Amino acid sequence: MTLSSQTKNLLKVHQQVNVNIEPNAGWRDLPIGGVIPQAGTATQFATGDWRTIRPVWSKEKCINCHRCWLYCPDMSWISENGQIQGVDLTYCKGCGICANVCPAKVHAIEMHPEDNFKDDEVVKEG
């Protein structure tokens, strides 16, 4: 069986969910009022597997305007010390907003079908 490294990564992210809930937990085990005690647990839910097209970023063309970072609804563009580092495919749903808001003259982001990446990342199990 072969799995792309990305699929493996997504599986790993899904398995990490340990938000105080065991698979066989009953209602008595849940916090009163359905409180979620930790903040930001959605980061453990990978929405990247919704994606059918993938943003591909050119570091050379990028002018670091951060419009992709701003208008990404899934907080997928990574910025460190004011520099765009690339896109986090764990959450990217492939909406294509980033490629659209990237200034036309810059054109640093292109959307490509996910199928194009299948061969790149196939790894052998075991």
> Phi/psi class of residue 24: alpha, beta or left (left: φ > 0; alpha: ψ in -120 to 50)?
alpha
Query: Which part of the chain contacts another protein (CB under 8 A), choosing from 2-10, 30-38, 113-121?
Result: 30-38
Smallest separation, CB 1 to another protein (Å): 27
Given 12, 16, 17, 107, the residue binding another protein (CB under 8 A) = 17
Query: Is residue 90 near another protein by the rule CB under 8 A?
Result: yes
Q: To 5 degrees, how large is the angle CA 73–CA 68–CA 103?
A: 135
Per-residue x/- mask for another protein, residues 70 to 89, rule CB under 8 A? xxxxxxx--x-xxx----x-
Query: Is residue 99 near another protein by the rule CB under 8 A?
Result: yes
Given 2, 5, 41, 58, the residue binding another protein (CB under 8 A) = 41
Buried (b) or exposed (e) across 16-49, using 16+ Cβ within 10 A? eeeeeeeeeeeeeeeeeeeeeeeeeeeeeebbbe
Smallest separation, CB 5 to another protein (Å): 19
CB-count burial class (<10 Å; 0-12, 13-18, 19+) for 1: exposed
Separation of first and last alpha carbons in the chain? 9
User: Which lies closer to another protein via its Cβ, residue 56 or residue 111?
Assistant: 111
User: Which lies closer to another protein via its Cβ, residue 71 or residue 117?
Assistant: 71
Query: Is residue 5 near another protein by the rule CB under 8 A?
Result: no
